[in-house]
């Protein structure tokens, strides 16, 4: 179910227009640069705010009070913004479908992040695996939705996350993928990310250097 062909088949059969269009530029990676804006897609927990780590695995903060923006994040996002990127949060929040979190709380966290950080938007999947939706990472539905909404060239864009599902979603959309590697006690991304960083700051430097090198 997590393999690429399965995911793409689902998009082909049931996906919205944006998903189908996205599929054309996704999966096989390096299409030549197409017109469109460039974006950095950012996972939320562990990338923007600190994840709550228990037994080596990351969890979202349970309340607004538990939200802690990682200290280097504002500056890293500013540098990406100055380099011309749209900055879009892409997050799975399945605790809402599981009944252990309220959607209002998640929305209040996002209001806080949008007020505090130079993000353009945060797109959310509230489903769990059983819902079979197209937006829950490793599906790339939210990246396709953003691409449609903002006119983003996915092959000139980046996905930054701290778990394999982030990397796989970015890869399926045809983005360059960066793992902020906390060495969680869980499955690794296969195939691996294009690059590994220790922090968002490091990832932002890498992206900006790559731009100067003319690779994107
Ligand atoms: Mg995360
Ligand atoms: Zn979903």
Mean pLDDT score, 85-96: 98
Cα 179 to averaged position of ligand 2 atoms, centre (Å): 22
Model pTM score = 0.84
Which ligand is closest to the CA of 91, given by its number? 1
Higher local confidence (pLDDT), 203 or 26:
203
Model confidence pLDDT, tens digit, residues 99-109: 999 999 999 99
Asked if residue 86 has pLDDT above 80, the reply is yes
169 occurs within a structural domain: yes
CA 198 – CA 211 distance, rounded (Å)? 20
Which ligand is closest to the CA of 46, given by its number? 1
Query: Is residue 95 among the annotated active site residues?
Result: no
178 occurs within a structural domain: yes
Instruction: Check 8, 45, 166, 194 and give the catalytic one.
Output: 45
Asked if residue 90 has pLDDT above 50, the reply is yes
Would you state the pLDDT for residue 35?
79
Instruction: Check 2, 3, 8, 43 and give the catalytic one.
Output: 43
Which ligand is closest to the CA of 139, given by its number? 2
Domain that holds residue 14: 4-26+37-212
- Look up the CATH number of the domain holding residue 75: 3.40.50.1000
67 occurs within a structural domain: yes
Cα 42 to averaged position of ligand 2 atoms, centre (Å): 17
Mean pLDDT score, 45-69: 97
Would you state the pLDDT for residue 3?
41
Residue at token pair 């396709």 = 144
32 occurs within a structural domain: no
How many domains does one find in the chain? 1
109 occurs within a structural domain: yes
150 occurs within a structural domain: yes
CA 49 – CA 196 distance, rounded (Å)? 18
User: What is the residue-wise DSSP string for 76-115?
Assistant: HHHHHHHTT-EEEEEEE-THHHHTSS-HHHHHHHHHHHHH
Please check whether residue 179 is in contact with residue 72, taking contact to mean a CB–CB distance below 8 angstroms.
Answer: no
Residue 168 host element (H or E): helix 164-173
Cα 213 to averaged position of ligand 2 atoms, centre (Å): 36
Helix (H, G, I), strand (E, B) or coil at 74: helix
Cα 66 to averaged position of ligand 2 atoms, centre (Å): 24
Confidence of residue 58 (pLDDT cuts 50, 70, 90): very high
Query: Is residue 194 among the annotated active site residues?
Result: no
197 occurs within a structural domain: yes
Model confidence pLDDT, tens digit, residues 186-215: 999 999 999 999 999 999 999 999 988 855
Cα 135 to averaged position of ligand 2 atoms, centre (Å): 4
Nearest one of 185, 129, 171, 188 to 22, comparing CA atoms = 171
Asked if residue 12 has pLDDT above 70, the reply is no
Percentage of the chain beyond pLDDT 90 is 81
Model confidence pLDDT, tens digit, residues 139-173: 999 999 999 999 999 999 999 999 999 999 999 99
Q: What value does the mean pLDDT of the chain take?
A: 87
């Amino acid at each position: 179910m997590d393999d690429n062909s399965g995911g793409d088949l689902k998009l082909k059969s049931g996906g919205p227009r944006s998903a189908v269009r996205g599929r054309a530029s996704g999966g096989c990676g390096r299409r030549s640069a197409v017109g469109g804006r460039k974006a950095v897609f950012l996972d939320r927990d562990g990338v923007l705010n600190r994840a709550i780590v228990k037994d080596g695995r990351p969890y979202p903060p349970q309340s607004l009070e538990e939200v802690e923006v990682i200290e280097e994040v504002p500056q890293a996002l500013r540098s990406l913004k100055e380099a011309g990127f749209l900055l879009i949060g892409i997050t799975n929040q399945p605790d809402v479908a599981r009944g252990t979190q309220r959607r209002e709380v998640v929305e209040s966290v996002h209001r806080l992040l949008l007020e505090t950080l130079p993000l353009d938007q945060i797109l959310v999947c509230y489903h769990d695996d059983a819902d079979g939706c197209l937006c829950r990472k490793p599906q790339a539905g939210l990246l396709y939705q953003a691409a449609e909404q903002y006119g983003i060239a996915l092959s000139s864009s980046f996905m930054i996350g701290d778990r394999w599902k982030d990397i796989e979603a970015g890869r399926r959309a045809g983005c360059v993928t960066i793992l902020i590697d906390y060495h969680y006690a869980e499955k690794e991304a296969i195939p691996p990310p294009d690059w590994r960083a220790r922090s968002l700051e490091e990832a932002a430097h890498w992206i900006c250097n790559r731009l100067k090198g003319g690779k994107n």
